[in-house]
């Protein structure tokens, strides 16, 4: 076996192992109660009939976990405060899930804030915990972005892709929209999104585009 083939085989093995570990982590996360205690002040997340959920305006509170204690603040634009500056639409717009939001770190320690310090340009952090790329697309539509000097960066991790076919994400017990191919066009299903908390391991998209209510610990939601 030549070097290229060896590297290719090794890459496939590592990729497969990564996916398997990610799936195993998701299953273990929701198969029973978490061994790690955490508490977050209420009100960070609000229900949204099209997106599923969104950040509350002008919210601040504390997230306490076995591994960290972090303070979060949001802006009037429903974005995470970036380095103490309340940006709505900066030169660089970051949109993604809890990694982009900076779950577990303070406002000035998110990678959006660190990047802003280096770039010397305002950055708008639209990270939304537990969200997936289909929700990101829906959230981008009303933002009226597109200035020639503006850059939009979509950030997602492997587990986000698993939620694309689901009306309930693996990491939050709340319904979400999803896209499906209908007549060679993408159609949005499960909209308006129901408010009732949903079970993370709810029915598959093939059985219903609406998910019946279930049980689970709540990530959100206040009424918007």
Taking only the tens of pLDDT, the chain with its 224 residues reads: 544 454 455 455 545 645 555 555 555 455 444 445 789 999 999 999 999 999 999 999 999 999 999 999 999 999 999 865 554 556 788 999 999 999 999 999 999 999 988 888 888 999 999 999 999 999 988 887 656 667 888 998 888 899 999 999 988 889 999 999 999 999 999 999 999 776 554 444 433 333 333 333 345 566 55
What's the whole-model pTM score?
Answer: 0.72
Sign, CA torsion 181/159/110/56: positive
Residue 182 phi/psi, 5-degree rounding, is: -130, 120
Q: What angle do CA 72, 167, 137 make, to 5 degrees?
A: 60
**pLDDT value at residue 213:** 34
Tokens encoding 27? 């299953």
Residue 56 DSSP class: P
SS3 27: helix
Token reading at 135: 């929700």
Q: What is the pLDDT of residue 222?
A: 60
Longest Cα separation, the chain = 60
Instruction: Give the closest residue to 197 by CA, choosing from 130, 126, 135.
Output: 130
Q: What is the pLDDT of residue 220?
A: 54
């Amino acid at each position: 076996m030549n070097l290229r083939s060896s590297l290719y085989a090794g890459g496939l093995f590592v990729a497969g192992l990564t996916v398997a570990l990610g799936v195993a982590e998701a299953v273990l996360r929701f198969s029973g109660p978490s061994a790690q205690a955490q508490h977050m002040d209420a009100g960070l997340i609000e229900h949204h009939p099209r997106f599923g959920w969104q950040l509350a305006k002008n919210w601040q509170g504390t997230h306490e976990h076995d591994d960290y204690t972090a303070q979060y603040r949001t802006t009037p634009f429903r974005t995470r405060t970036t380095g103490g500056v309340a940006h709505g639409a900066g030169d660089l717009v970051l949109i993604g899930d809890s990694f982009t939001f900076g779950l577990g770190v303070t406002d000035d320690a998110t990678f959006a804030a660190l990047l802003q310090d280096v770039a010397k340009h305002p950055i708008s952090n639209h990270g939304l915990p537990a969200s997936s790329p289909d929700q990101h697309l829906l959230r981008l539509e009303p933002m009226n972005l597109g200035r020639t000097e503006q850059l939009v960066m979509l950030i997602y991790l492997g587990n986000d892709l698993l939620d694309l076919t689901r009306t309930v994400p693996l990491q939050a017990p709340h319904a979400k929209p999803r896209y499906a191919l209908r007549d060679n066009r993408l159609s949005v299903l499960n909209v308006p999104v129901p408010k009732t908390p949903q079970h993370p391991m709810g029915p598959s998209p093939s059985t219903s585009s609406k998910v019946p209510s279930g049980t689970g610990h709540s990530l959100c939601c206040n009424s918007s």
